[in-house]
Structure 1
Amino acid sequence: MEKFNIEPYNSDEISNFRKEEAYLRAKKKVDTIIGFYWHLAVYVIVNIFLIILIGVNAGFDGFGPYATATFWGIGLAFHFLGAFGPDFFFGKDWEKKKIEEYMDKERQSWE
């Protein structure tokens, strides 16, 4: 049976590995956000063009000129949530801060 010689990693190597992993995660997050902004730019440009084109030719009344913008907008909203996460609006500590705020108000009313 063959034995493998596995030397333990030293702390510098582990630290470098963690820094590299953190960099790769951050880079992926930035690339995702950049992708969302490109998607948003294309959405705005294409839908302005389509709304004007369809509106001029078929009239601006009804849902027709706005259908593409509406349904594509739903997809864009999901892309937004994927890029920024559901914590974008409230933040990770939002619930905790609100609870503390309401508890402080209750304490003040007791005094």
Structure 2
Amino acid sequence: MESQEDRYRRASERVAELRKFYGKLGSFLLVGGLFLAFNYYSNGLRYPWFLWIIGFWGLGIAIEAFKLFGTNLFLGRNWEQRKIREQMEKENRDTSNWF
């Protein structure tokens, strides 16, 4: 059986991972904005070189987000179980209203 200390340690590790990810995301947005501004003021976006940097860096951030959140990023935690429960409840309502 899992102790309270083990759950606390695992939860604190997860929070540390989230904090690290959000820090990286924030720096991505800030530095990306700076690159955009520098590119705009240097050549008026005739050649948007900043998109190469942002694109590859953004891909790295997306991969990290997928590792951290998995498929829960879009559908939420326990999405499939919730939908199954909703469908079962709907079928129960439909069969009870049949008469």
TM-score, normalisation: structure 2: 0.74
Q: How does 1:1-111 map to 2 (within 5 A)?
A: 18-103=3-88, 104=90, 108=94, 111=98
Aligned length, in residue pairs? 96
Higher relative contact order (CA 8 A, sep 6+): 1
**Distance verdict in 2 for CA 1:64–1:97, change over 3 Å:** same
Q: Which one is further off, 23-32 or 56-65?
A: 56-65
Q: Secondary structure at the match of 1:60?
A: coil
Larger Rg: 1
Stretches of structure 2 that go unaligned for 5 or more consecutive residues are: none
Q: Secondary structure at the match of 2:75?
A: coil
Q: Which one is further off, 45-54 or 60-69?
A: 60-69
Q: Alpha-carbon deviation of 1:61?
A: 4.2
Stretches of structure 1 that go unaligned for 5 or more consecutive residues are: 1-13
Q: Which one is further off, 32-41 or 66-75?
A: 66-75
CA distance in 1, matches of 2:77, 2:51: 35
CA distance in 1, matches of 2:45, 2:92: 53
Aligned residue identity for 2:65: F
Aligned-residue RMSD, C-alpha: 2.7
Aligned residue identity for 1:70: G
CA distance in 1, matches of 2:53, 2:67: 21
